[in-house]
Structure 1
Amino acid sequence: MRMLFLLSLLAVVVSYAGYTYIDQGYIDVAQLKSQIGLAPRLIDDQADLLTAEEENYISEYQQMLLRRFDIDYRIITKNNLPDINQYAWQTFNSEEVGNQSQHGRGMLLVIDPGKDTLRIEVSGNLESTYTDAFIAYLENRQMVPFFNLGRVDEGIFATSELIRIRAIQAEEGIGFDPSSVQISLGGGASAEAGINAGRDTTFTKNKPDILAADTPEETHRRFIESFANRNGRRDLDIFTDETKQHMGDKIGSAAQMDNAFQTYSRCTIEHVTYNKANTRAVMVYSLSNRGCDPFLFEKGDDGKWRLDLKTLGTALGHSYGNIWYLDYRRYEMSGIKNYNFGFRHLNFLRPSGEQFEHQGVPYYRDYGMEANHVIEGTKITEFHGEDSFMAKQGFKVGDVIQQWESITYPHQYEVGRRMERVRPGLDIYTRVRRNDTYLEKIFKAPPRPAKGTLRFGVSYHSNGSRSCLVHYVEPGSLADRLGLKEGDFIASWQGKEDADQGFIHDLFDTLNAGDELTAKVYRNGNLINLATVVGEKRTMGKVH
C-alpha cells in the first residue's frame, strides 16, 4: 500500500500507512444495523480503483466520520456515466445516503475515471457546512492534485481528512471563507478528476526560495508563511538535504497548505530546546491543541537552522483525530532518539481503553519534573528457567535497566508494574548499562503467563537511596517555581517524610490552584526548605 506522508503539510496529515486508533463513541443506529448485516456498503468501487487494503482503510475513516460527526459518507466509482450530476443525485436518493446518520446528514462522492469526472453530493442539512464553494475548493485543491498522479486512494483519504477538519471548524462556529480561494472555482459541485494527468506545478513553478534563518523560531516562521503563500517547493533552503530527498515524490495540495497555515496560526509555542552541542533543536507546542506537531531543526555549517522533516515524518504518526504520537515501531530507524532532549518534559503513554499498538501519546509530567527512587535504575539479578524471556532478548545478569519505555531510572516497583500491565505484542523500548557499554533494546511484550510461571522470567532489584532523586525540571513548570533542581533528593513532600514516588505523583491530582506546595530537599549536603503556590494546571487536548 502506498504511504501518505505529506511532510511539508504536517498540520493536516494523517499517517496513511501507520497504525491508528479510533475514539470509542456511543452505539448508534448505524452500528446496530451493521451488527445485524443491514448497513449499506460505504465504498462501491465498481471501477476497481482501490485495492482491498486501501478500501478497508478508507472505510474505517468513514465509520469514524459517522461516529464522531454523524456524517454518513459514501463513495462510488463507476466508469463512463452518461451524466455524473444526474447519477449522483439519483443515487443519493435511491441509496438513502444519510439514513445511517441520526440526523440524516449524508455525503456522496462519485468518481467516473472513464470520463475523468467527479462529483460530491451533500444533504440539505449539511449545505451550510459544506457549501458549493467549499465543495469546489475540496475537489480542485485537494482531490485533483492526487488524482493527477494516479494516487486515487491517497486523494480520497486526504479529502476525507479535510471533510473532518471542516466539521470541526463548523462545531467551533468557523465558516469557510471563499475569499481564501485564489482561483475561480465556479458554483457547481462537479469537476474534472484529472486522473493520471501529471503533477500540477501551479504551486512550485516560479515560486521563490526561502532561506534558512539564524534561529529555529525564524526558520519556523518562514516555513509557516510559505503555506500562506502556497509555496509548495520541496527544495527550499529551509529544509535539510535529507528532507529535500525524502520529500521528492510527496504531494502537497493547496487545500492542505491553507489548512496548515490556519492550524499553526492557532498553535502556541511552549518550548524551544537545544542539545548541549547547540547543533539540534526541538520546538514543541502546548498540548492544549494536540493537532500542532512539534518541529525538529538542525544547524548547518553556515550557522543556519533548517527543518528536519524526514526524521519527524518518519517518527510521528497521527490518529484519526489528527493527534500526533511517537510511533515506537520506527523509533530507531527514524533517528528521533537524537532529539530526545527536546521531549523530556513529556511522558509518552498508551492510553488505556484505546486500540493502541505502537503509539506513544504525549502527556505533561506531573509538576513538570522527573523523579525516581534510585540514581541508576533496576539491576537484573537472575534469570529463571531455560526459556527465560528476558534472556532470549539478549539481556544479561548484571545489566542495569536505565529506561523502560518513557520511564527513566525506573525503580524495581515501576518495572514490575509495567511488566504486569503491558499488553502482549506491544513494543517495549529499554536502555540498559552493561559494564561501561550502553545498549538500546526494543522487543515485543510476551503473552500472559500460565498460572505459577513468570511472564518475563527474571529477578531484579534496585540499589540506592529510597529518597526520590530529581532527574529533570521543566523550565517554567510548577516544580521549577517550587525551586527544585536536578540532583535534589526529596526528603519531605507536603509534610510527609521520605515520601515515595507514588505519594508524590498521587498528590498532584488533589492539588488545586491557590494551594500551597511545600518540600524539603537535600542539595549539596544541605537541607533546604521549598514552598510555592499552585497555579492553574495546564490543559491537554482530548485524545481521539
Structure 2
Amino acid sequence: MLGLFAAVVLAIAYQGNERLATVPRVTDHINLLSPDERDRIARFHDYLLSDHDIDYRILIARGIDDINQFAVNYFRDGNIGAASNSARGLLLVIDAQANQVRLEVSYALEPIYTDAFVFYVEHNQMTEFFAADRVADGILATTEMLITRANNAASGLGLDTEGWAASSGGGGARVDARIGEGTAARREDNVAIGGSASPREVLDRYRRAMEDRNNNPRLSIYSEQTREMLGQRVMTPAQMDNVAKSLRNCQPEKLFHQDNRAVLRYPIKARTCPPYFFLREDNQWRLDFTVMINAIRFGRNNEWRLVPGYSGPYGFAFRDLRFDRNGYPYPQ
C-alpha cells in the first residue's frame, strides 16, 4: 500500500482531471541534489531524448512504502514516455530514507535495457557512487551507460558485445541505494612492470588490471600525480569493465615520443578510442591521467575530442592533425 507521500506525489500528475503530458526531468522533493546538479542532469537527459528518443525522468523522495508499486504507478500516472515519439520511457526512483532505488523501464525499451543490464548498472555503477555520497555523479555515470547501450543497439550490436553481459546476473526490481555507506575497499595488489616496458606494454598491463577489476589507485603503471588523483575518485566495477572492453576493441596505430612524454594514438576513424598519455618517471613509463582528463573530452556519442586550443605538454602528438572548432580531429 502506498504511503501518504506517494499519494500526494501521484496527485501532481493530474490537473483538472487531465493527465499532464510530462513531469519535470528531475523532481527532488528533499533537496538531495543542488540546483546546479539538477540542471546538469536535466541537460544530459535532454540529449538522451533528442539523440535517442528516450524520455528519462528522476524522482527523489523519502517515505515510499513500496517502491516497486510506486514506480509502476508514477510511471503510468506521470505519463513517463509521453515526450518520446516511440513511448520510450525511463524512470529512476530514489527513496533516501528507505535507502532504496528502482529503475523502471517502458515496454518499448525492454529489448535494449534488459533486466540483466538494469541489475548491472544499479549494482556496479550507480550505487557505487551513491555509497561515496556522490548521487549526482552516480546518476550521470549511469546515464552514460544508458547512452552507450542505446548507441550499440542502434548500430545493431548485440548484448554479448558489451563488457557487462559476461558478468551480470539476473534482473531485480528494487536495490539498496547505499547512500553514504562508504566506498568499496581498495585492492592492494600491484601490477608488475619493469623499466624496459614500452608504453604499449604499460597500456596492455592497464587493460589486464581493468579486466581484473583492480581498483588499487597506487598501481605502478600510474604516474605519481595520477595515483593521488585516483585515490580521491570512485572507481566502479562498471567503469573498469568499460575501460577493459574499449582497450580490447581498440588497436593503437602510432606512438609519438618527445623527451619524457609519449602518446599512443589510434586511427582517427576510431572515434571512440581516445589517445593515451604517458610520463617517464623513475625510469619507467607510466600513465598520465592527470593531464589526459584536462586535455581530452568526450561528446554525446562517446567520441573523443581535444580541448579547443590545447597547447599542453603533449601537444607534440597532434601536430599532424587538424581540429574543428569543437576539438574533433581530422587528417590534415
TM bucket by the smaller chain?
0.7 to 0.9
SS at match of 1:242: helix
Matched, 1:283 2:264: yes
SS at match of 1:297: strand
Q: What is the one-letter code of the residue matched to 2:187?
A: K
In structure 1, what is the equivalent of residue 327 of structure 2? 360
Matched, 1:195 2:179: yes
Q: What is the one-letter code of the residue matched to 2:167?
A: V
In structure 1, what is the equivalent of residue 140 of structure 2? 157
SS at match of 1:99: coil
2:73 to 86, 90, 93: 90
Distance 2:220 2:30 in 1: 42
Do the aligned partners of 2:22 and 2:79 also contact (CA within 8 Å) in 1? no
> Which residues in structure 2 correspond to 1:200-239 (within 5 Å)?
200-201=184-185, 204-211=186-193, 214-239=197-222
Distance 1:154 1:364, change over 3 A: same
State the shift of 1:39 in Å.
4.6
> Which residues in structure 2 correspond to 1:157-196 (within 5 Å)?
157-177=140-160, 180-181=166-167, 185-196=169-180
State the shift of 1:189 in Å.
2.7
Matched, 1:67 2:50: yes
> Which residues in structure 2 correspond to 1:299-338 (within 5 Å)?
299-302=280-283, 304-328=284-308, 331=310, 337-338=312-313
Distance 1:210 1:196 in 2: 34
Do the aligned partners of 1:267 and 1:286 also contact (CA within 8 Å) in 2? no
Do the aligned partners of 2:250 and 2:273 also contact (CA within 8 Å) in 1? yes
> Which residues in structure 2 correspond to 1:57-456 (within 5 Å)?
57-177=40-160, 180-181=166-167, 185-201=169-185, 204-211=186-193, 214-275=197-258, 277=259, 279-302=260-283, 304-328=284-308, 331=310, 337-350=312-325, 359-365=326-332
Distance 1:283 1:238 in 2: 15
Distance 1:222 1:310 in 2: 19
State the shift of 1:209 in Å.
3.1
In structure 2, what is the equivalent of residue 455 of structure 1? none
Do the aligned partners of 1:133 and 1:187 also contact (CA within 8 Å) in 2? yes
Q: What is the one-letter code of the residue matched to 1:180?
A: A
Distance 1:120 1:217 in 2: 40
1:210-252 CA distance string (max 9 Å, x none)? 4355211100111112111111111000011111112221111
In structure 1, what is the equivalent of residue 7 of structure 2? none
CA RMSD of aligned residues (A): 1.9
SS at match of 1:360: coil
Distance 1:49 1:115 in 2: 14
In structure 1, stretches of 5+ residues that fail to align are: 1-36, 351-358, 366-544
Of the structure 1 ranges 209-218 and 338-347, higher mean CA displacement relative to structure 2 is found in 209-218
In structure 2, stretches of 5+ residues that fail to align are: 1-19
Q: TM-score, normalised by structure 2?
A: 0.88
1:124-161 CA distance string (max 9 Å, x none)? 12111111111011100000110001000000000000
State the shift of 1:363 in Å.
1.6
Distance 1:167 1:344 in 2: 34
Structure of larger gyration radius: 1
Question: Matched residue pairs, number?
Answer: 309
Do the aligned partners of 1:297 and 1:305 also contact (CA within 8 Å) in 2? yes
Q: What is the one-letter code of the residue matched to 2:329?
A: P
1:421-458 CA distance string (max 9 Å, x none)? xxxxxxxxxxxxxxxxxxxxxxxxxxxxxxxxxxxxxx
Distance 1:38 1:167 in 2: 24
Distance 2:256 2:171 in 1: 48
Distance 1:321 1:229 in 2: 27
State the shift of 1:263 in Å.
1.9
Distance 2:192 2:156 in 1: 34
Q: What is the one-letter code of the residue matched to 2:236?
A: S
Do the aligned partners of 1:144 and 1:193 also contact (CA within 8 Å) in 2? yes
Sequence identity percentage: 35
Do the aligned partners of 2:187 and 2:214 also contact (CA within 8 Å) in 1? no
SS at match of 2:277: strand
Do the aligned partners of 1:129 and 1:175 also contact (CA within 8 Å) in 2? no
Distance 2:265 2:175 in 1: 40
Distance 2:223 2:172 in 1: 42
State the shift of 1:328 in Å.
4.4
Distance 2:188 2:279 in 1: 27
Distance 1:119 1:232 in 2: 26
SS at match of 2:253: strand
Q: What is the one-letter code of the residue matched to 2:282?
A: D
Greater strand fraction, Structure 1 or Structure 2: 1
Q: What is the one-letter code of the residue matched to 1:110?
A: V
State the shift of 1:290 in Å.
1.6
State the shift of 1:53 in Å.
0.9
Greater helix fraction, Structure 1 or Structure 2: 2
Which 4+ stretches in 1 moved above 6 angstroms? none
Do the aligned partners of 1:129 and 1:170 also contact (CA within 8 Å) in 2? yes
Do the aligned partners of 2:151 and 2:301 also contact (CA within 8 Å) in 1? no
Do the aligned partners of 1:136 and 1:190 also contact (CA within 8 Å) in 2? no
Distance 1:122 1:246 in 2: 36
Q: What is the one-letter code of the residue matched to 1:361?
A: Y
State the shift of 1:258 in Å.
1.1
Q: TM-score, normalised by structure 1?
A: 0.54
